Amino acid sequence: MAVFTPVSAEEAAALTLRLDAGSLLSLEGVVAGIENTNYFVTTDQGAWVLTLFERLQPAQLPFYLGLMQHLARRGLPVPEPRADADGQLLHSVAGKPAALVNRFPGQHLLAPDLHHCAQLGAVLARMHLAVADFPLRQTNLRGLAWWLTIAPQLQPHLTQAQRQLLASELSFQQQVAASPSYAALPRGAVHADLFRDNVLFDGLPGHEKLTACFDFYFAGTDRFAYDLAVCLNDWCLGAEGSSLDEARAQALVQAYERERPLLGAEVRLLPALLRAAALRFWLSRLGDQHLPRDAALLSPKNPGHFERILRARIATPWHPPVG
């Protein structure tokens, strides 16, 4: 999240009234994030999040908004886009495509414990099961094709060691993607960015309950095991920040498997998918650092973090517990 496009109180008030979401009480720009413009909106009927889409095209947005609506109506803790009188989920604010979704209570837990990881694993599996009848399909826009496109643009900004790492890993991931076992992996609509700062927990310390998974605007049709790998690389890091903490990783995967057991091929390819997930976020953070956009409030994240994770996944492959 970030603020690229200013929104006036008058523009926000007009939207909330048109969507029958109440009269505007406050409007606050959200600092965190780097892709879209976001505001916290409070009305006399509740709390909302207003998102203005800065990069995504209007033709792409029905997938994201439809996925959120689908999951919310299946009972998942996911914000539901607010529809207008004609049932449309996509709106226009300040000349940009926009959506208004309900805001959940809770806060981020940047140091998750075993029971937080277990809750995340269970909800992730339930989301993967729930999309079985979701009819829309859309390529993961931050998948292999994008990696191959952005890599040459980043080359001038990399050290020799980084260029070697990038070339080697891209070659490896192309081989994985071309394999029959990868092609056969179960797939569907996935979040693809379910980091700790995209999940909320609420409750007394030590007894928090997962209340929301949000920011689905990197979602796409991809392998479910890749989505799991993205979560493991963020939720289950060891104390030094790159290896996987065995206890939390096991808690997450075991809770996932209680809802949706992994296939043997998913287990075997998970080490490669952990590398793929690390590569994806290394590249995106390099892009945010070296190919930035202007924003009123913008906080790019350190790409070195995922470079270290990628090197750790290559050096020490992690296999989930069996049985």
What's the CATH number where 75 sits? 3.30.200.20
The tokens 């350190």 sit on which residue?
Answer: 302
Does residue 109 fall inside a structural domain? Answer: no
Q: Which of 82, 102, 122 is the last residue of a domain?
A: 102
Reduced to 3 states (helix: H, G, I; strand: E, B; else coil), residue 183 is helix
Whether 296 and 168 share a structural domain: yes
Does residue 320 fall inside a structural domain? Answer: no
Whether 71 and 96 share a structural domain: yes
Reduced to 3 states (helix: H, G, I; strand: E, B; else coil), residue 118 is helix
What is the pLDDT of the chain when averaged over all its residues?
94
Q: The pTM is what?
A: 0.94
Does residue 4 fall inside a structural domain? Answer: no
Whether 133 and 32 share a structural domain: no
Query: Taking phi first (over 0 means left), then psi (-120 to 50 degrees means alpha), and beta for anything else, what does residue 186 get?
Result: beta
* Confidence bin at 297 (pLDDT 50/70/90): very low
pLDDT digits (tens, 9 = 90+) for 131-159: 999 999 999 999 999 999 999 999 999 99
Asked if residue 4 has pLDDT above 90, the reply is: no
Is 142:280 a contact under the CB 8 Å cutoff? yes
Whether 191 and 69 share a structural domain: no
Range of the domain at 164: 114-315
pLDDT computed for residue 296 by the predictor: 44
Whether 274 and 309 share a structural domain: yes
Whether 16 and 44 share a structural domain: yes
Whether 143 and 292 share a structural domain: yes
